[in-house]
Structure 1
Amino acid sequence: MPKNLATRPQARPRLTTNLRAAALLGPALVAGVAYLDPGNVASNMTAGARYGYLLVWVVIAGNVMAWLIQYLSAKLGLVTGRSLPEVLGQRIRNRWARRAFWLQAELVAMATDIAEVLGGAVALNLLFDIPLIYGGVITGAVSITLLAVQSRRGPRHFEFVIIGLMAVIVIGFVAGLFVAPPDPAAIAGGMLPRFTDSGSVLLAASILGATIMPHAIYAHSALARDRFPTGPGHAPDPARPSLRILLTATRWDVTIAMVIAGSVNLAILLLAAANLAGVSGTDSLEGAHAAITANLGGLIGTLFAVGLLASGLASTSVGAYAGAEIMHGLLTVRVPLLARRLVTLIPALFILGVGFDPTLALVLSQVVLSFGIPFALIPLVALTSQRRTLGEHVNRRLTTILGIVFAILLITLNAVLLWLVLTGA
């Protein structure tokens, strides 16, 4: 018997296994869209235009932290069968403490909504010259359509739509690097951790707030719970993969999502550092788009705007999903996703209506997000390190130590930022 024929029967089971494993991917890719929202674009673009390659290390460090944090969030949802807001809603017994925690989480979610709607509005203005206020309305309307897919067709169809938009985002923001590649030596120099002034600290906090987003931590645990209903209270399903297989697939899912998100965020900063440094007006998304178009051509400029639009549409849908889960988990109030989307559009449309600088609003929203990180991260690390919560899947000691170190670093950076702002240093 020919050798190739003898090996064919073995190839089919392996192919089937790989297809089954691939079918388990998805929740992290949806949560990962939160790492590619317009706030990321504004923060990384501004950092590259103002400081060149100085903050490359912040993007890389933030992505490494994000991998661990998103995996812990998904693990909590898989093992317990509940989202992080649900677990906190049960553990925080004092009604007023629970409401206070919900309020800060809700403000963070609203800051996220503002960034995403603003980004979509700016993109529509760049592509079709649509006034910003109408662009915000259109962005909100499209996001409502995407949320309807999630509500009526289920999480899998929602994942396909969001992953498709992620592919558009990648193409839109990475294409420029092939036309004007950055300096490798400068990139290496940017990996040395350092700051130059309070402005660089502000942007570092903004980058981290856009990279490690509190609402993504809340959302990922809910996405994993909805996609793979396991844990106490769920009936056994012989067709469902074992929890260990799901956790292994989740590690791959998070790795793929974070590699994509980290690469795109780094590409945005490098694109600005290589082509926009010293160019006037590039602190705004409109100015950056004009400079990219002038320096790299109309096609790259259009791709950038299309990527920004896809970023706003995808991330605002995930943000609304996270906000609804926060309210349900902490207040046990179930607000329809579509109704919540309409309400959270108001602050963004107000900002657009009064003529506030959209790019500045985007950067400031990411700073607000960075201050919300400890409130999501500390409980996440604490819960996943408790055997009574996760049983045999409790964190290893090294994992818990890394989580604590990351939390301390993020809180310290925010404290330094606050001190610099208050003292005017």
Structure 2
Amino acid sequence: MVGGPSAGAPAQLSEASSAVPSVLEQVLAKGRLRAMSAMLGPAFIAAVAYVDPGNFATNLQGGAHYGYQLLWVVLLANLMAMPVQYLSAKLGIATDRNLPELVREHYPRPVTWGMWVQAEIIAMSTDIAEFLGAAIGLNLLFGVPMLPAGVIAGVVAFGILALQNRGYRRFELAVTAFLAVIFAGFLYDTLQVGPSARESLGGLLPTLNGSDSLYLAVGIIGATVMPHAVYLHSALTRGRMPCRDDAERQRVLRFERFDVILALGLAGGANMAMLVVAAKLFHTPALSGLSTIQQAHTEIAHLVGGTAALAFAVALLASGVSSSSVGTYAGQVVMAGFVDLRVPVLLRRAITMIPAFVVLATGVNPTDALVLSQVVLSFGIPFALVPLVTLTSRRDVMGIHVNGPVTKAVAWVIASLVIALNAFLLQVQFLS
């Protein structure tokens, strides 16, 4: 008699636990709209990296030098980004691990440390873009000298990141608000400028015009498909919505797919708007040599008006400070994941910011430095993409969420295209 009731206790406990709604079921019970709003967020944080100040530099120079010709590159880069970010998000949801952690678990230690070193180099290139952009934005809006403006941008970025201490949702909402400001700024400028619809459609046909256009094309891809965003997205989704089983993970993945399409669609729209505005205003004999963001701001004020120039500068500042906070977050994920090291955020960020402050202090053309930083970022993409595609294609890692044949093929085509572009750029730049 004593053994009877205790033997039935686990079954009764299991039935009781299954009767309790899961976290996901409680969210879904609030209605589809409220559930959707609760699920959205991770992709919007990742999307900010796709409209960082490096995008301003590459898109403005692309439009000024080549008109609408490189619009197809911007579109292609954003279309490539969507499956990449979705795979990263899926990795976090299916495994409750982020990409750097899984690399450490499944790859040899020397490979892991090498991955970490290259990721830190990429982080420095990212910082150049983010802090230079924010500094230029402060300089344009308030006349703050470039070096102090960079320091202010760093302080603001840490302030935004500190919102995480009060819950991930506040950080997500703050970053999403900055993304909305960037999109609204360029939507306003596009409506004011009125770019040519016919030439925009013509720019969607793939063409290039020599090695310089290839250099910018690779820079645009480097500014769009961001390595640190690939690492970070898996960390943003891991454990965010607790799932009881694979069926619930599948439902969360459907929401995440929409999150990625919406967030990166907004980022892609902003990027295309940057290029068509530059093509309309600056692709003229007098302005096609435009080489700085400050010059672009001045010409927008002269050709369109002060409000359009203000919208441009506000969007640039929003881009710089928001992407800086996201970059700081990504840096912590990379270091902790690859080599299981944790150092104070301020110390780590101070080290990776050094190249950006050297550029600010020495007076190097910041726009040229931005474009170069994006090309460097492009060379870091394969180091993020190859492990991502490999791991998400392994059933022992992903279980039933493993990549299907079509997904695997698309992912490898994207990775191969980026690697081929980088190899071609090396040949053109250094061997010809």
Q: TM-score, normalised by structure 1?
A: 0.92
Deviations 1:62-81 (A, max 9, x none): 11110000000000011100
Match of 1:145 among 138, 151, 159: 159
Equivalent residue in structure 1 for 2:172, among 153, 159, 164: 159
Residue deviations 1:306-363 (CA, integer Å, cap 9, x gap): 0000000000111111111111001101223343333322221111001111101100
- Kept after mapping to 2: 8 A contact 1:143/1:313: yes
Equivalence for 1:246: 252
The one-letter code sitting in structure 2 at the alignment partner of 1:71 is Y
Distance 1:21 1:351 in 2: 43
Deviation at 1:241, TM superposition (A): 9.3
The residue aligned with 1:406 is 414
Cα distance in structure 2, aligned partners of 1:186 and 1:214: 32
**Take 2:372 and 2:238, find their aligned partners in 1: how far apart are those partners?**
32
Of the three residues 354, 370, 387, the one matched with 2:395 is 387
State which structure, 1 or 2, has the greater radius of gyration over its C-alpha atoms. 2
Residues 94-141 of structure 1 deviation map (CA, whole Å, 9 limit, x = unaligned)? 3x3221111111111111111000000011111111110011000001
CA contact (8 A) 1:174 1:268 kept: no
Q: Which one of the candidate residues 274, 283, 286 is aligned to 1:277?
A: 283
Residue of structure 2 aligned with 1:265, choices 244, 265, 271: 271
Task: Name the CA distance, whole Å, in 2 between partners of 1:241 and 1:305.
Answer: 46
Tell whether 2:66 aligns with 1:51.
yes
Q: 2:211 aligns with which of 177, 198, 207?
A: 198
C-alpha displacement of 1:228: 2.9
Q: Which residue of 2 aligns with 1:28?
A: 43
Q: What CA distance in whole angstroms lies between the structure 1 residues aligned with 2:242 and 2:154?
A: 30
Q: Deviations over 1:381-407 (max 9, x none)?
A: 111111111110111100000111111
Contact (CA 8 Å) 1:172, 1:308: kept in 2 or not? Answer: no
| Deviation string, structure 1 residues 217-236 (Cα, Å, up to 9, x no partner) | 00101111152355xxxxx5
1:282-327 CA distance string (max 9 Å, x none) = 2210011111111110000011000000000000111111111111
Is 1:210 the counterpart of 2:218? The answer is no
RMSD, aligned α-carbons = 1.7
**TM-score, normalisation: structure 2:** 0.90
Give the residue type in structure 1 aligned to 2:119.
A
Secondary structure at the aligned position of 1:148 is classed as helix
Kindly report structure 1 stretches of 4+ aligned residues shifted beyond 6 Å: none
Distance 1:199 1:227 in 2: 43
In the alignment, what sits opposite 2:19? none
Partner of 2:9: none
Paired residues of 2:42 and 2:237 also in contact (CA < 8 A): yes
| Percent of paired sites with the same residue | 47
Deviation of 1:173 after TM superposition, in Å, equals 2.0
- Write out aligned runs for 1:46-85 (5 A): 46-85=61-100
Q: Which residue of 2 aligns with 1:353?
A: 361
Structure 2 counterpart of 1:169, from 182, 197, 204: 182
Distance 1:176 1:397 in 2: 42
Partner of 2:313: 305
Distance in 2 (CA, whole Å) between partners of 1:393 and 1:176 is 42
Q: Which runs of 5+ in 2 are unaligned?
A: 1-27
Aligned partners of 2:328, 2:72: CA distance in 1, in Å?
A: 30
Gaps of 5+ in 1: 1-12, 231-235
Q: How many residues align?
A: 403
